[in-house]
Chains A and B, each alone.
Chain A
């Protein structure tokens, strides 16, 4: 049953990595494989399938609203020449390619993960790195790795909140070990981003600033979350990184000549869209009366208990609720409109700009939307059929004392399947907690491994890879991105496995 349960994921990975299929094709195949296995071997009935599909639709819309609007914001800025200008401006800060990759693809990506959410850092940064002369593949890989450590305490702590909700444990129990594991992962991904940007030579040259910046970001996040401010841990970690990273960049300016005087007015206008995004997100998330006001309209459905013919039950409960007016997609949409008006007022658009922006956005996002839809539907079918549960139980029961080393891999698996660290924590946290209790292991360490694995694993979730591919012009080449990311994420997960074992031995 374990092999059958893992087969849809295997089909997707095989087609994307082995046969280089695009995500929309591989997603369709994975969906059909999941449906077949769920129906024949796991006894899923049509009614359960119906509810699984309906639940999937709300998850899909939640994800796609962000993707569509993130791409729209990018096109609004790009059409006005903003991306091109940002690309020209960064060499004024540093001409060192490795340092550029770190400042934008690691530090700024972590900051964006702190304020934004699913896929936003990769969607925003990949095109900027392409504009700076990085290959499209590197432009996706660098921010994908760079933001990963900030996922759990980023997005205003959504993933951490999901883990607390699933386990019923307080932040006082969970925050400290999770912040330590994620902090160590943060330094590691800095080196991984440098490696992706320029190879081992760049890693050796920038080893010191990477360590300093990583230490500052990790410490800032640790202090924030252990003081109880877990919702802004990622945000303050990223902000601390920018405060330290930008002065450090001046020390690593590179060997090229100074390109002259920087046009600050144009630079500020070019950054307007992203500035509005940051300000709106902070206002909406950190001003309680505004948050309450904007939270009044919610879309969602209440789902009944479902039971397969084999007896696997999913309890009744609400599906994904979309709080439309404070949704990240809405913030991105308002930012796009504001940026468009600013650029238009500054005379940065040629005639017909609006139709070009809307047309290219629609054409670019629609094939990726099909891939995401298939994959999320596949994940929900697996969850409702008990396939996901079978996988986790199979992993844990067969390993015994070695289980702690596997914990981050289970978290990663959940994130790959569901597309997010938050979903992985919802699906697997309770299972990890119970297994830890059965084996007499410290739950806080196992759950720290779960969420760190989930954060790192979310990077190779097909849905996130599609976002990166789409914004960097690599549609249909998602398999290449996965090939590049997979070994790095496996090494990072191994490091977390070792840390977990050490943590268990020490405690």
Chain B
């Protein structure tokens, strides 16, 4: 089994620009069932064999998608997510980078009164290898299996997956939750789903400096998650007060340091990998 997406997931792609089309094609190659696209002004046309609609409402009426993959540019991305929430899609993965935080605060408000789950924004999306790729991760590095991977960083997710696959360890589902201050799905949400998924037998969780999401996740894990977990925190050597790329990755007021997060993980029984090159081997040793 897997979480969030599988072979039955019906995907709609929002935003069919250059990136949207390139990645839609890659998703189809790695097993996504794309049933529609939404691109205002291109309704009535076809792309890569699926019908394109002007609005999400039409796409839902005609093609019955249940998950969206959004590539809409930053200025209109929150609006696109709100449109997907209104259409009651079960899942939205928003890849877009650089969405104003204020727009995401409005989206977070809308999510609270809806049944939609948002992954991201500013993330690689989610993949259940061999079943469905709803994101921009390189499909070929994945291998179907039973390890769940969750990370705030896109390329570090690939790093973990690459290490696992080269050790012959497959993945149930891999999720990049995004590096922005306001995100739809956090570590705890994903850990809870992995914990309840009978076929996920081990977990890799990759955090980074800034905020307190990793500490809260560690607190959640304590006593509740019995599956082996390997953790890593990127940014142990980052100087305080400097934003390390991701809007959320900043040590401020002495809070959000890697040392605090690693200590919280260890206290919760999470095996902290000594370096980012040891993610796969640390998990292999536990399983």
Do these two chains interact?
no
